[in-house]
Amino acid sequence: MRVVFMGTPEFAVPSLRALLDAGHEVVGAITQPDRPAGRGHKLTPCPVKLLAQERGVPVYQFERIKSPEGVAKLRALAPELCITAAFGQILSREILDIPQYGTVNVHASLLPKYRGSAPINWCVLNGEPVAGVTTMLTDAGLDTGDMLLRAETPVGELETAGELTERLSELGAKLLIDTLARYPHGDLKPVPQDEAEASYQPMLSREMGRVDWTRPAREIANQIRGLNPWPCAYADFEGGRLKLYLARPCAARGEAAPGTVTVSNAKEGLFVACGEGWLEILEMQAPNAKRMVAKAYLQGKRIEVGTKFS
């Protein structure tokens, strides 16, 4: 099948690779423009562009695919089907009407829950025990199109959003190939989403990272996992920012004000009182230090019991 692939970040790479490995004729990869990255703010190609170039797929980059130039290029490529995966742009009706079989999107949630730009993060932030991916037919709305196939997977107790993203990207690639083996031949009946069960979640922001220690320990642990690797949860400590990458909730073993360090040694670890329960900090980055396992940090540095994180 003659396909145009639209995607940008690492999540989309397995889907493009799977299309190529399955023998589909990918006549173009459309991505976001190169963005500044790193300390030098050097323009850097996105992961999809790198794979496409490696596999000899022509790359086209548009700030807005619905621009006249973008529409003209897509028409010239004459795809039978378009595939999107974390593309990051809304497709216009003019774009959607070009491919004969429409546009199939690989969405990283079990629709209709978690529509929007950060479904995996919100799944972890909300402590969901199960995550998944959905292939759907893109329409003019935001993740509102009819569903084709879904696949789910348990979320690990300590699994971060970054780790779950990596797993779901592979699950999504497999689901995409299963979808394309059936959908163009009429073997899949698109299923409308139940709007009564739909949920939209906002984009992530740096401000979401600050920990409120009056919340239950389990909610804070989910916040830390859900914002790893970005924007990262944090607390104020020693005049700087204590970044928190992984933590585990546990029962309280005594009374202490929320945010107070209750246990701190290299053998037992680092525990902080919360509004409900205690939080064991497993991985962190103290001000002017590197990212470390908390117990390893405490082998060389002291954090006194009674210290207050804010």
Predicted confidence band of residue 98 (pLDDT cuts 50, 70, 90):
very high
Q: Is the pLDDT of residue 277 over 90?
A: yes
Which pLDDT score, from 0 to 100, does residue 39 have? 79
Write the CA distances from 263 to 222, 251, 287, 299, 307, integer angstroms: 21, 13, 20, 14, 10
Predicted confidence band of residue 185 (pLDDT cuts 50, 70, 90):
confident
Residues paired with 14 in a beta bridge:
none
Which pTM does this prediction carry?
0.96
Distance (Å, whole) CA 159 – CA 225: 7
Q: What are the DSSP E strand ranges found in 77-117?
A: 81-85, 103-107
Which pLDDT score, from 0 to 100, does residue 232 have? 98
Residues in CB range of 236: below 8 A, 6 or more apart:
242, 309, 310
Q: What percent of the chain has pLDDT over 70?
A: 100
264 burial (CB, 10 Å; 0-12 / 13-18 / 19+) is buried
Q: Is the pLDDT of residue 3 over 90?
A: yes
Helix (H) or strand (E) holding 16: helix 13-21
pLDDT per position as a tens digit, 225-245? 999 999 999 999 999 999 999
Distance (Å, whole) CA 44 – CA 61: 13
Closest CA to 48 of 57, 36, 38, 39: 57
Question: What domains, with CATH codes, occur in the chain?
Answer: 2-197 (3.40.50.170), 206-300 (3.10.25.10)
